Amino acid sequence: MQFKVPQNIDMQDRIIGPLTLGQFFYLLFGGLIIYILFNKLVLEGLSFFFWILAIPIGLLSFAMAFLKVNDRPFPYFFLAAIRFLSQPRQRVWQHGAEAPPKKPAKAKPDGDSAAAAPKKSLDAVKVNELADILDKGGS
């Protein structure tokens, strides 16, 4: 008996036409920003600044919605690029810096101390005997 194996199970659901919900919100957010810029800048006669701001915002929202880099969505790539650019490229050893304080070990309750197994101590003679046994191959 053969069974159908589902394919592309990692695909997101198409909610609004051919767009997923995330793609729709990226485009909606970019469109709202461009609309606000249009109302503030073009209607006041600053259309040159509107185009300077609207084109990168439109391209960024389009890239966030549809572009994939190495089969990963663009938002992952964009956040990784920002993280890479914001972190220092070289680690510097600080001579006077102290190590972070160690956390104190949790104390065991004293009520069950009699039930706890006693610690085994190894002296030099016992260690030498064990080393001889291992050297001889266990005999």
Considering only 29-38, 43-52, 56-65, 74-83, which range has the smallest mean pLDDT? 43-52
81: tokens are 């690029």
Q: What do you get for the CA distance between the two ends of the chain, in Å?
A: 57
pLDDT of residue 88: 82
Domain ranges of the chain: 14-86
What is the rounded average pLDDT for all residues in the chain? 84
Identify the band that residue 114 occupies on the pLDDT scale cut at 50, 70 and 90. low
Q: How confident is the model at residue 5 (pLDDT cuts 50, 70, 90)?
A: confident
Determine the pLDDT at residue 4.
Answer: 86
List pLDDT tens digits, range 64-106: 999 998 888 899 999 999 999 998 888 777 777 777 778 887 7
Whether residue 48 has pLDDT greater than 80: yes
pTM, full prediction: 0.56
Better-predicted residue by pLDDT, 62 or 125: 62
Residue 124 CB-density burial (10 A; 0-12 exposed, 13-18 middle, 19+ buried): exposed
Contact call for residues 63 and 74 (beta carbons, < 8 A): yes
Distance CA 126, CA 118 (A): 18
* Backbone angles phi and psi of 130, in degrees to 5: -65, -40
Residue in the structure block whose two tokens are 């600080």: 94
